[in-house]
A and B are shown apart, each in its own frame.
Chain A
Amino acid sequence: LAKTTQPISMDSYEGQEVNITCSHNNIATNDYITWYQQFPSQGPRFIIQGYKTKVTNEVASLFIPADRKSSTLSLPRVSLSDTAVYYCLVGDNGDTGGFKTIFGAGTRLFVKA
């Protein structure tokens, strides 16, 4: 079972780029890395997913080094509305029933004006 470790919290200012790193030393060969965003009193929202190298979408980029033991979520030019908890997940391919989604502790990002 791949465990993830993230910083508990981060502060940033509007307009800055924010990088949140997640460690997953025991990642398995078939595991993907997924990031979710959660605002208070709402369900998590899928941000991005990757397996290796770099993935980019309209919201964020995900950088994964060759050894895949960590990953970095990059949020370009954050705004106040990006204040949220960001979760890193590593898919656990269970023996039966498909993936078990195990959320990490999450990183609380606070964006200041």
Chain B
Amino acid sequence: DTEVTQTPKHLVMGMTNKKSLKCEQHMGHRAMYWYKQKAKKPPELMFVYSYEKLSINESVPSRFSPECPNSSLLNLHLHALQPEDSALYLCASSQNNRVHEQYFGPGTRLTVT
């Protein structure tokens, strides 16, 4: 199983809402990542988890809160987002955080109204 799954596929939320994005992999990978991608732009790294611990936070605003409950799951909790946060949110995993080959999920298309 070389699949990274993400739920939901689409999400529309208001600026006062709280929602969560979920990512799951069962490849035994010990590094997991969150990226944000705006239309016609490259993915931008947000967070990296290594062995369930946050190892990189690319100065992401606190309205984005990552969580790694176990080695297979990665969540991104969203609160008080702004319309400019609308984007495709991609999750990825890799064998560890020193390996470049990452497996990406299909993403969650987020719209903030």
Contact = CB atoms under 8 A, between A and B. Distances in A.
Interface of A: 32, 34, 41-46, 49, 87, 89, 91, 94, 96-106
Nearest to B31: A98
B71 to A, nearest CB: 16
Chain B's interface size range is 20 to 34
5 contacts: A45-B104, A94-B56, A103-B42, A103-B43, A105-B41
Contact of B56 (A34, A41, A97): A97
A35 to B, nearest CB: 10
Contacts of A87: 42
Contacts of B99: 99
A100 B101 CA distance: 12
B76 interface: no
Contacts of A96: 55-56
A49 B103 CA distance: 14
Interface in B4-56: 4, 31, 33, 41-45, 48, 50, 55-56
